[in-house]
Chain A
Amino acid sequence: MRALLAACAMALGGCSAAPFEYRAQTDIPEGPGMLTGAAGAFSLRPAESLPPRDSDEYKEFQEWREWKRQQEAKGSTP
């Protein structure tokens, strides 16, 4: 039995399949979150590592913040 298992393991390790990262579906899902948006997580990041102001990431953040401001303004209108 052990020899069979070892043979199966060697066969799997030696075959030409492309490795992929298995994640249990019972873990917290990867990808976007309801509150965290596309990032999927709140980021706690040192100030010096913030993206530069001319980066796409920073522009995207500014656009999102503007959109959020507009949404809140709409929501507060009687």
Chain B
Amino acid sequence: MKKSALWFATAAAFAGAVQAQGLEVKLSGQVNRAVMFADDGLRSDSFHVDNDNSSTRFRFAGTGEVSPGLKAGLIFEVEYQSSPSNLVTFADRDGAPPTLDERYMDLFFEGGFGKLSLGQGDGAANGGVEVDLSGTSVAHYADVSATGGALAFRTAAGGSGPTMGSVLSQQDFESRYDRARYDTPAFGGLRLALSAGAKDSRDVHEAALLYAGDFGSAGKLAAALGWSQEDPTVVGGVDDETVGGSVSWLAPGGFNLTYGHTQRDVSATREGKFNYFKAGYKTGKHAVSADYALGDDQSAAGDEAKSMSLAYVFTPVSWAELFALAKKAQLDQPGVSYEDLTLVMIGTRLKF
């Protein structure tokens, strides 16, 4: 059976099963397309991309009451990207042929005890470095390499260096994988999340503290602190351990500030670091922001990568966003001089 047919059959089975139990299932999704222009100092070209900041996707989601005070639910979400903005290169402007890729296949039970989830879904700390209240995340956020991440830095002589993604990763813990996860109830906006599972045949454990509070005239504050640990790739190797977090503040007038930081044990002797700063302003249908990201020692000791960008998002109706992004990325490596990478992306996300 073709993979896509299998996905649809499974989704239909899910829908049928939950209907039989009296659950309501909802189908929703989005298409997010853009035109991207890139210049690596030696070559420039345009690309028609799927904006990987928030990929084209659809989902089935449903909840129902099992008994008074106990709710059950599911989320089944897949993405389908043609020419993802983080994978296209000058040599391969289409990226790999599109496939239906799993994002969530998750079941949960929720009650006074908190929430227990089982399946493919967010690890406890996933998104911990990406907390962002700016309203411009569809154009740019801590995942700097979501736009142009596969493009390589070039030397003036024509040599190829590391890709932007390998030196400017936000190192956002362990993303999504097959796991069991527990979230405590929120205490004054603060809750603890724990997860354990397997990813790429390796055991993964994660923990996070998550916060979201509205201070009224002092604005809104959202924050996360996370830790993740993945077994080593080889026997006797180093655990892949990441710690970090992020915090975002939105003032009542629309001004906002965001900061994120992670550090990851890349090898026995090297720790990759990532820092992210963002300042923005949103009012009505408009949001603008500027960000600055730093990646240190991620690809090799002594690497120092930077990215600066400006973004604007216009939301004429709640289901449509138009966005524009201009970005410059630089890499300093001991003994090597690389050209800057320049990117411009204009596109739209439509929720259907």
Contacts of B138 in A (CB 8 A): 25-26
- For residue A18, which residue of chain B has the nearest CB? B214
Contact call B318/A28, Cβ cutoff below 8 A = no
- Distance between B223 CB and nearest chain A CB, rounded to angstroms: 7
Given contacts A34-B352, A45-B19, A49-B22, contact A24 B29 (CB under 8 A): no
A43→B19 CA distance, assembly (Å): 11
Residue of B nearest to A19 (CB): B189
Give the interface centre of A5, A24, A32 by most chain B CB atoms within 10 Å: A24
For B210, the chain A residues whose CB sits under 8 A away are 22
- A61 sits at the interface (CB 8 A): no
Interface string of B214-253 (1 = CB under 8 A from A): 1110001111010000000000000000000000000000
Q: Which of B30, B136, B141, B187 contacts A28 (CB 8 A)?
A: B30
Asked if B188 is an interface residue, CB under 8 A from chain A, the answer is: yes
Query: Does chain B have a CB within 8 A of A14?
Result: yes
**How many residues belonging to A are interface residues under a CB distance threshold of 8 Å?**
33
B270 within 8 A of A: no
Chain B residues, CB < 8 A from A17: 188-189, 213-216, 221
Of B126-134, B154-162, B199-207, the one touching chain A? B126-134
Complex interface: chain B residues within 8 A of A18 (CB):
189, 213-214, 216
A31 to B317, CA, bound (A): 10
- Whether A46 contacts B22 in the complex (CB less than 8 A), given A20-B189, A28-B29, A28-B351, comes out as yes
* A25 & B135 in contact (Cβ 8 Å cutoff): yes
Q: Does B288 interact with chain A (Cβ within 8 Å)?
A: no
> How many angstroms from the CA of A26 to the CA of B135 in the assembled complex?
10
B188/A12 in contact, CB under 8 A: yes
Q: Are A22 and B212 in contact (CB under 8 A)?
A: yes
Q: State how many angstroms separate the Cβ of A53 from the closest Cβ of chain B.
A: 19
Which parts of A5-49 form the interface with B (CB within 8 Å)? 5, 9, 12-15, 17-22, 24-29, 31-36, 39-46, 49
Say yes or no: B30 contacts A29, CB within 8 Å.
Answer: yes
Among the stretches B33-41, B52-60, B91-99, the one at the interface with A is: B52-60
- Taking CB atoms and an 8 Å cut-off, the chain B residues in 330-352 that contact chain A are 349-352
Whole-angstrom distance from the CB of B176 to the nearest CB of chain A? Answer: 12
Docked Cα-Cα span, A61 to B45, in Å, equals 49
Is the beta-carbon distance between B132 and A24 smaller than 8 angstroms? Answer: yes
Instruction: Assess whether B8 is interfacial by the CB under 8 Å rule.
Output: no
Distance, CA A27 to CA B187, complexed state (A)? 25
Q: A9-B209, A17-B189 are in contact. Are A28 and B28 (CB under 8 A)?
A: yes
B66 interfacial by beta-carbon distance below 8 Å? no
> B15, B28, B188: which contacts A33 (Cβ < 8 A)?
B28
- B160-210 contacts to A (CB < 8 Å): 186-190, 209-210
In Å, the complex CA distance between A6 and B222 comes to: 16
Q: Is there an interface contact between B188 and A15, defined as CB atoms closer than 8 Å?
A: yes
Complex interface: chain B residues within 8 A of A13 (CB): 187-190, 211
A28 to B320, CA, bound (A): 11
Residue of A nearest to B317 (CB): A32
- Tell me, in angstroms, the Cα distance from A17 to B219 when the chains sit together: 10
Chain A residues closer than 8 Å to B54, beta-carbon distance: 25-28
Besides A12-B223, A29-B318, 16 more A-B contacts (Cβ < 8 Å) are: A9-B190, A12-B189, A12-B190, A19-B188, A20-B213, A22-B133, A25-B132, A25-B134, A26-B130, A27-B54, A31-B351, A34-B351, A40-B319, A43-B24, A44-B19, A46-B20
Question: Footprint of B on A, CB under 8 Å?
Answer: 5, 9, 12-15, 17-22, 24-29, 31-36, 39-46, 49
29 A-B residue pairs with Cβ-Cβ distance under 8 Å, sorted by A, are: A12-B188, A12-B213, A12-B221, A12-B223, A13-B189, A15-B188, A18-B216, A19-B186, A19-B189, A20-B213, A22-B210, A22-B222, A24-B131, A24-B137, A25-B135, A25-B138, A25-B141, A28-B54, A32-B318, A33-B28, A33-B319, A35-B352, A40-B26, A41-B27, A41-B28, A42-B27, A43-B25, A44-B26, A46-B22
